[in-house]
Every structure is written in C-alpha cells, then in structure tokens.
Structure 1
Amino acid sequence: MRAILDVLMVVFDLYTWLVIASAVISWLVAFNVVNTRNDVVRAIWNFLYQVTEPALRPIRSILPNLGGIDVSPIILLLIIFFIQRVIVLYIYPAVI
C-alpha cells in the first residue's frame, strides 16, 4: 500500500509542475514572448492545455469573473498540496 501512495505522491508532484508550466507558458503567449506559430511551442502548448484543462475547467466554472486574472491554477495547486498533506500526515502513517 505504501508503494501505491508513493506513486500517487509522485504523480501529484509531476502534475504540480505541469500546472506551473501551463501557467507560465500561458503568460508567455499572452505577453507575446513566444509565438504559437512555432511548431514546438504549439505542441508544448497543446500538450499542457490537454493535460491541465480537465482539472482547471470545473474550478473556472465555480470562480467569479475576475477580469483578465485567472486564479484557477493557484486554487488547483492549493488543492493538490492539501491532498498531499492529508496523505503524508494521516494516511501514510496509518498504513503498515
């Protein structure tokens, strides 16, 4: 059971980095630092969008419109960190 929890923690860590990368690349595209006409940038953008959007869409539907500010990645990261802390503090010590 601990092996499953360890794999789950690694998956959460990887997904955290994907959410951060998605937010950073969205800022770079919004400020015209990178061009989405480039095939490599478009491929990375599409991959990150397809991986993170299913988790971000329900959060965006709940949050009110804040203008041009998207705080849904921050909310998702807080949820991931909360789940990780629950696993580390409560579930992991109970597993023998």
Structure 2
Amino acid sequence: MSALSQVGMLLVNTIGSMVLLIVMLRFLLQLVRADFYNPISQFIVKFTNPILIPMRRMVPSIAGLDTASLLLAYIVQVLVMVATLIVAGSGLALPWANILVWALIGLPALILNVYFWGLIITVIASWVAPNSYNPALILINQILEPVVRPIREKMPDMGGIDLSPIVVFLVIQIVEIMVIRQLAVITQMPRGLVFGL
C-alpha cells in the first residue's frame, strides 16, 4: 500500500469514525433522555441536526426510539466502509451485500464499545476525581446509568464497593465473543473494516 493510500485510510478512518461516534451518541442520548443542556450534548445536537431534522420528516420514531439517528449511523457506517475499500484499492467492484450486513453488525459492536470505554472512564474517574462535575463525566454517567442501575440494585451490599461495572464488563465481553465476533466470522468480515470491531 502506497504512502498516499495510507494517508487516505488514516483520514477516512479518523473522520468517519468520529462522525459515526457522534451520530451514535446522538441516538444513545435520545434513548436515555440525557441532559441536552450539557455542552457536549449541545455540540452533538448542533452537529447532527442539519441532517437529522430533514430525515425525521421521512423516518418516524418507533416505540420512542430515534430511528432517524440509527438509520443515519447505519448510512455513515456503510459510507465509511465503502470509502475505506475504495482507498484500499478495491476499485468499484465492492461486495455491496456484505457491506450492508457488516454495517448491521458494526452498529451493536459500536454501542458495546461505547459502554465498555464509558465504564472504564467512569471507574478511573471515580478513583482520580470522585464527585467530579465535568460535563463529559456527567454525560457518560447518564448514558451508563440505565444499564448499570438494574445490576447495582440486584447486587448484595459489598460495604460501599460497587461491583456492578465488573458485571457489565463481563456481559459486554460475553456478548462480543458469543454474538458479534461469531457474526463477523460467519459473514467473513475483514478485520479493521468496521468501526467498533
């Protein structure tokens, strides 16, 4: 692979993954009813609104889910994969059916990664800066709380030590191994093509 192709791959992967992450965060913020006055939430809303507002006229919410954000994340995932394959030299003979399936596998993998890294950030922050009012930490806690709270409520009292993040880590790893990786193998997904895997 030439140096120009490597630079192209770097740009496509970096920009594409950041856009995909922002769109997926918009979906998750809507899902958990996070504080939209948070400065980071405001950035995500302003970044995604130019595309999402027109999309919402055509794609209605289903059962309270922001399906327009989810569809936009899927489209971004497909576009990033297509751009990656083109820059890598695959030409225009792209495996479209595979790309559409790989993008479907990539979205839940990305959500699992968001929760995994969010948990790591909150655990480290609880040691380094407990009771911090950083907008990013507040937002991460709002995203994680609906997943962690039910487990925390069922855990026995451990003397003030919260072990629920460990349980969530294990569940994320089990789902990734048993479902996501198996689907990636079955569909013969190339490594590094889908953001989130």
The normalised TM-score by structure 1 is 0.76
8 A contact 1:56–1:76 mirrored in 2: yes
Q: 2:122 aligns with which of 10, 17, 22?
A: 22
Q: Which runs of 5+ in 2 are unaligned?
A: 1-100, 189-197
The residue aligned with 1:77 is 169
The residue aligned with 1:13 is 113
Q: Which runs of 5+ in 1 are unaligned?
A: none
The normalised TM-score by structure 2 is 0.40
- CA distance in 2 between partners of 1:11 and 1:49 (Å): 15
Summarize deviations over 1:6-49 as a string: whole Å, max 9, x none: 2221221222111110111122233xxxx73xxxx431231121
Correspondence list, 1:24-43, <5 A:
24-30=124-130, 36=132, 41-43=133-135
SS at match of 1:10: helix
| Larger relative contact order, structure 1 or 2 (CA cutoff 8 Å, min sep 6) | 1
Summarize deviations over 1:39-86 as a string: whole Å, max 9, x none: xx4312311210111110000011100012111111101100100001
SS at match of 1:23: helix
1:92 deviation in Å? 3.4
8 A contact 1:22–1:52 mirrored in 2: no
1:95 deviation in Å? 4.4
- CA distance in 1 between partners of 2:106 and 2:141 (Å): 26
The structure number with the bigger radius of gyration is 2
The residue aligned with 2:151 is 59
Runs of 4+ in 1 over 4 A off after TM superposition: none
Quote the sequence identity (%).
28
- CA distance in 1 between partners of 2:186 and 2:171 (Å): 22
- CA distance in 1 between partners of 2:165 and 2:128 (Å): 15
